[in-house]
Amino acid sequence: MLFNSIEFAIFLPLVFGLYWVIGARHVKAQNVLLFVASYIFYGWWDWRFLALIFISSLIDFLLAQKIAATEKQRSRKSLLAVSLIVNLGMLGFFKYFNFFIESFTDAFTFFGYQFSADRLDVILPVGISFYTFQTLSYTIDVYRRKLEPTTDAVAFFTFVSFFPQLVAGPIERASNLLPQFMRERKFEYGKAVDGMRQILWGLFKKIVIADNLGRHADYIFSDHTQYPGLVLFLGALFFAFQIYCDFSGYSDIAIGTARLFGFDLMRNFAFPYFSRDIAEFWRRWHISLSTWFRDYLYIPLGGSRGSKYLQVRNTFIIFLVSGFWHGANWTFIVWGLLHAALFLPLLLLGKNRKHTNGIAEDRLVVGGEEALRIISTFMLVTLGWVFFRADNIGHAFSYLWHMFSKLFHPVGLANFQFANLYIVSDFMMLILFVVIEWLQRHKQHGLEMTGVKTNRLGRWAIYLGMIFMISMFGQTEELPFIYFQF
């Protein structure tokens, strides 16, 4: 079920109504409702994959109790290994099996050996990378004695499958979300209203910005050799905003929806395109995944402690794995390594935590130097997105080569036709979006109104304006979110 679908527009109020009719005092009954709703939500795509979530949840639910019950370090390690093997095994099978088969075949062929193996005709279960990491965080935290295992099966199963964030995050930590399933959730007016605003903002990002710009980006990437460099740059720029608004739009809707049910999910994006260097970008982009890797991979590897060699190694490992997490394609690996290469100088010079303060604090307009930093970081990130978007490595390099070699090619923009006639309104919406993001950069999301003096008329005018813009300028097709494929 897509957030931007009629089905969800019916599903959400229905579940919301039943949930609060049951009442805050009946936590278990509310959890049962959320569990059933989450499985319906997920099963809407393909009910067969419900078995995977169920198995993954069951194994971690049982293993965590076993881990906590034994004091023998060896047994604890073995039990954790079972959890890792089962969860990562399922993820690896569905997501990476064909990639490894193809890569081995290519490698053998390259060295003149004959090797053939059949690809498996498997469908990637939606959101498998997200819920696998979420449930793994639970067993790892129990193993590390940071978390007591739960004996409430319904709460745990609902924590793994919680529908607002099931298919594309934020990847929640058990230590943050699981306790919320145990305690009474009270309806808070302010929280629910802000949740609604965040949902509205997420829908605007997805339907108006991401889906419209995505069409132009698809058009340009599909036939890039025909266009001058400036158009290719525009294609990369469109994709940069498409991927950001698509993914962060999903996160906004997820966080907003969870708030309607009295839950607080972690923040996943913090206006990343205003970052002043790559290190700051990674503190603002897909925060739940970055911090997951930091806590469960980077720090156990030694983090930024130890020799320069170890620092370099750890940095490359974390970005490589991060790239590979996104998909079974060399394009994602190169994208990850490119970011590692951009991050590394900052780490080695000890400047990776230089920009931890707010952007242009107490000022409306950014200073010259800071503006240059923001623009140059955005440009680097945008170039990186070319690898992320390309069909394969050859496509990415060809795209970049054409972009730079024909940047000022005599064939100008005039000869280029956009994917639809309404490019003017798409540009206008993009500019409006960037302006709102800039004005709201110290808030949680684009429509947060805390600390802003508004009367009811003003607020309703804003809601009406947003709804009108979604309706007038939004993409009319229900397009899936990009991160569902990861």
Partner 1 sequence: MKKFLKNIALSIVVLPLLYAVLLFVYGLTAPGILRKNMPYGSVKGHLYTRLEETKTYGSCDVVVLGSSHAYRGFDPRIFKQYGLKMFNLGSSAQTPVQSKILVERHLGKLAPRLVIIETYPAVFQADGVQPAIDLISNDYINGEVIWMVLQMNNIRVFNTLLYGLMRQFLGMQPKVKESKKDQYISGGYVERTMQVMDDPSQVKEQRRWSFDSTQVRAFESLIQMFDQKEIPYVLVQAPMSRAFLARYSNGDDVDGYFSKLDPNYTNFNKVEPFENKYFYSETHLNQKGVEKFNRILLNELQQKGLIE
Select the span of 168-176, 279-287, 290-298, 461-469 touching partner 1 (CB under 8 A): 461-469
Count of residues near partner 1 by CB under 8 A: 21
| Contact assessment for residue 245 and residue 210, using Cβ atoms and an 8 Å cutoff | yes
- The least CB distance from residue 470 to partner 1, in Å, is 9
Looking at 214, 228, 272, 474, which residue binds partner 1 (CB under 8 A)?
474
Contact between 44 and partner 1 by CB under 8 A: the answer reads no
Select the span of 30-38, 357-365, 374-382, 467-475 touching partner 1 (CB under 8 A): 467-475
- The least CB distance from residue 426 to partner 1, in Å, is 8
Looking at 11, 20, 99, 438, which residue binds partner 1 (CB under 8 A)?
20
Distance between terminal CA atoms of the chain?
Answer: 16
Looking at 90, 192, 317, 379, which residue binds partner 1 (CB under 8 A)?
192
Cα of 437 vs its chain's centroid, Å: 18
Contact between 439 and partner 1 by CB under 8 A: the answer reads no
- The least CB distance from residue 365 to partner 1, in Å, is 28
Contact between 435 and partner 1 by CB under 8 A: the answer reads no
Within 13 A of 400's CA, how many CA atoms are on the CB side?
16
User: Which lies closer to partner 1 via its Cβ, residue 364 or residue 421?
Assistant: 421
User: Which lies closer to partner 1 via its Cβ, residue 9 or residue 81?
Assistant: 9
Supply the DSSP string of 27-43, one letter for each residue: HHHHHHHHHHHHHHHHH
| Contact assessment for residue 426 and residue 373, using Cβ atoms and an 8 Å cutoff | no
Supply the DSSP string of 332-378, one letter for each residue: HHHHHHHHHHHHHHHHHTT-TTS--SPTTTT-SS--HHHHHHHHHHH
User: Which lies closer to partner 1 via its Cβ, residue 263 or residue 335?
Assistant: 263
Catalytic residue among 216, 286, 326, 445: 326
Q: Is 355 a catalytic residue?
A: no
Smallest CA-to-CA distance from 10 within 19, 22, 21, 1 is with 1
Burial (CB count within 10 angstroms: exposed 0-12, middle 13-18, buried 19+), residue 236: buried
Contact between 105 and partner 1 by CB under 8 A: the answer reads no
Looking at 414, 421, 431, 457, which residue binds partner 1 (CB under 8 A)?
421
- The least CB distance from residue 259 to partner 1, in Å, is 12
Select the span of 312-320, 335-343, 401-409, 416-424 touching partner 1 (CB under 8 A): 416-424
Select the span of 95-103, 269-277, 332-340, 462-470 touching partner 1 (CB under 8 A): 462-470
Q: Helices (H) and strands (E) in the chain — how many of each?
A: 19, 0
| Contact assessment for residue 209 and residue 245, using Cβ atoms and an 8 Å cutoff | yes
* Integer Cα distance of 224 and 285 in angstroms: 28
User: Which lies closer to partner 1 via its Cβ, residue 193 or residue 348?
Assistant: 193
Contact between 11 and partner 1 by CB under 8 A: the answer reads no
Q: Which two tokens stand for residue 390?
A: 């390309």
Contact between 10 and partner 1 by CB under 8 A: the answer reads no
Smallest CA-to-CA distance from 185 within 72, 405, 304, 26 is with 26
Please give the C-alpha separations between residue 75 and each of 58, 64, 296, in angstroms, as whole numbers: 19, 12, 20
Cα of 12 vs its chain's centroid, Å: 22
| Contact assessment for residue 359 and residue 353, using Cβ atoms and an 8 Å cutoff | no
Looking at 93, 100, 104, 187, which residue binds partner 1 (CB under 8 A)?
187
Select the span of 275-283, 341-349, 370-378, 464-472 touching partner 1 (CB under 8 A): 464-472
Looking at 110, 111, 113, 189, which residue binds partner 1 (CB under 8 A)?
189
Report the 10 Å Cβ neighbour count for 389.
Answer: 25
Residues found near partner 1 in the complex (CB under 8 A) = 6, 20, 187, 189, 192-193, 421-422, 424-425, 428, 460, 463-464, 467-468, 471-474, 476
Q: Which residues are marked as active site?
A: 326
